[in-house]
């Protein structure tokens, strides 16, 4: 919950921008958006290029790529494979892995809280190879990079900030790049478990499904951090706020209202507190079958990363490894 700002909460730059343009109805200086359609897949790139845009959007400067396909909830193997491939391409372009890069993958979140378990689940499907480097044949060199991975757990379970654990490991292992996988919150239920976001900004404090206070980024870790996230929930308060907006913005309901004046943040807070009296920050909206969808998306995210990092492993083998 953005405490001082009663707009729906989202971890997706795409949605942050949608909310702004809905209100402002014009281009935002410092925010560039490109959209690509590829069959049933939509790829959107949001570039935040100056501090003013960073402030308005509530997102760090950098590039955010969203890959969306509604069919991801249908156990459609072919579509999953297509998304893996697109994710791999975008990741390669964003990360520019060198031939002998050492890559550390971090699975954020709590493996015992299903909607927060995407990171730990994905990490289990990563093809780790750092311990096998001496055994890799010369012809695979460069196509099977040195990869290691860990799901460090969350503050309430470990007693350590995730950033402390990761800093300790980074100092020891000295990777060239870190990839952090996390479960996100979306503003729209339509994007839950149908969307993957890549960002070259790392992870900001306070984002994600759990109450993570960690920042995993170049400033804290000393190496580039790519964040890969999948929205797994909508905050319950977002549903309430959306309903308020829908009432006011839908033409036929004008007759109910004296004026189309927007409710103030204070008024929104009063209504939301009435509908969701107790644990405002903890109530999550998820599809009933979230357990299965999380498993599926863990495979998709790990598959995309594996293909990006290990181009010389043929796809058959990765697939075999994943199941």
CA distance 132 to 299: 22
CA 267 to chain centre: 31
Q: Does 141 bind its own copies (CB under 8 A)?
A: no
Q: Does 159 bind its own copies (CB under 8 A)?
A: yes
Q: Contacts with its own copies in 189-208 (CB under 8 A)?
A: 189-190
Q: Contacts with its own copies in 100-129 (CB under 8 A)?
A: 112-116, 123-124, 128-129
Among 209, 221, 230, 305, binds its own copies (CB under 8 A): 209
Q: Does 153 bind its own copies (CB under 8 A)?
A: yes
Burial of 282-297, coded b for 16+ CB within 10 Å and e otherwise, reads: eebbbeeebeebbebb
Q: Contacts with its own copies in 276-315 (CB under 8 A)?
A: 276-279, 282-292, 299
**How many chain residues bind its own copies (CB under 8 A)?**
90
Output the smallest distance, CB 94 to its own copies, in A.
22
- Cβ neighbours for 42, distance < 8 A, ≥ 6 positions apart: 35, 36, 66, 67, 68, 69
And the tokens for 297? 């998306």
Q: Does 54 bind its own copies (CB under 8 A)?
A: no
Q: Contacts with its own copies in 238-257 (CB under 8 A)?
A: 239-240, 242-244, 246-247, 250, 252-253, 255-257
Burial of 181-210, coded b for 16+ CB within 10 Å and e otherwise, reads: bbbbbbbbbebbbbbbbbbbbbbbeebbbb
The answer to whether 107 and 119 have CB atoms below 8 angstroms apart is yes
Burial of 54-93, coded b for 16+ CB within 10 Å and e otherwise, reads: bebbbbbebbbbbbbbebbbeeeeebbbbbbebbbebbee
Q: Contacts with its own copies in 160-179 (CB under 8 A)?
A: 160-161, 164-165, 167-173
Three-state secondary-structure class, residue 245: helix
User: Toward its own copies, which CB reaches closer, 36 or 132?
Assistant: 132
Q: Does 149 bind its own copies (CB under 8 A)?
A: yes
Output the smallest distance, CB 190 to its own copies, in A.
6
Q: Does 318 bind its own copies (CB under 8 A)?
A: no
Q: Does 219 bind its own copies (CB under 8 A)?
A: no
Q: Does 87 bind its own copies (CB under 8 A)?
A: no
């Amino acid at each position: 919950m953005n405490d001082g700002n009663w707009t729906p909460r989202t971890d997706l730059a795409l949605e942050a921008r949608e909310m702004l343009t809905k209100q402002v109805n014009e281009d935002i200086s410092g925010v560039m958006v490109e959209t690509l359609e590829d069959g049933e897949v939509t790829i959107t790139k949001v570039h935040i290029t100056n501090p003013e845009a960073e402030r308005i959007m509530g997102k760090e400067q950098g590039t955010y790529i969203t890959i969306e396909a509604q069919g991801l909830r249908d156990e459609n193997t072919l579509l999953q494979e297509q998304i893996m491939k697109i994710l791999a391409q975008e990741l390669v372009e964003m990360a520019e892995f060198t031939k002998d890069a050492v890559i550390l993958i971090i699975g954020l979140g709590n493996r015992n809280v299903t909607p927060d378990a995407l990171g730990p689940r994905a990490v289990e499907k990563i093809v780790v190879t750092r311990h096998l480097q001496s055994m890799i044949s010369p012809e695979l060199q460069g196509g099977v990079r040195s990869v290691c991975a860990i799901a460090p757990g969350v503050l309430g379970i470990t007693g350590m900030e995730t950033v402390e654990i990761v800093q300790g490991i980074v100092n020891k292992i000295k990777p060239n790049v870190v990839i952090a996988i996390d479960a996100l919150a979306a503003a729209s239920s339509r994007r839950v478990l149908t969307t993957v976001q890549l960002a070259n900004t790392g992870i900001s404090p306070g984002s994600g499904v759990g109450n993570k206070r960690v920042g995993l980024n170049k400033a804290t870790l000393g190496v580039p951090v790519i964040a890969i996230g999948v929205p797994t929930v909508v905050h319950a308060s977002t549903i309430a706020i959306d309903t308020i907006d829908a009432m006011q913005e839908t033409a036929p309901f004008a007759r109910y209202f004296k004026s189309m004046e927007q409710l103030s943040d204070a008024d929104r807070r009063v209504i939301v507190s009435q509908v969701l009296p107790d644990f405002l920050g903890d109530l999550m909206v998820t599809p009933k079958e979230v357990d299965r969808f999380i498993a599926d998306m863990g495979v998709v995210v790990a598959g995309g990363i594996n293909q990006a990092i290990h181009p010389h492993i043929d796809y058959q083998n990765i697939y075999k490894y994943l199941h």
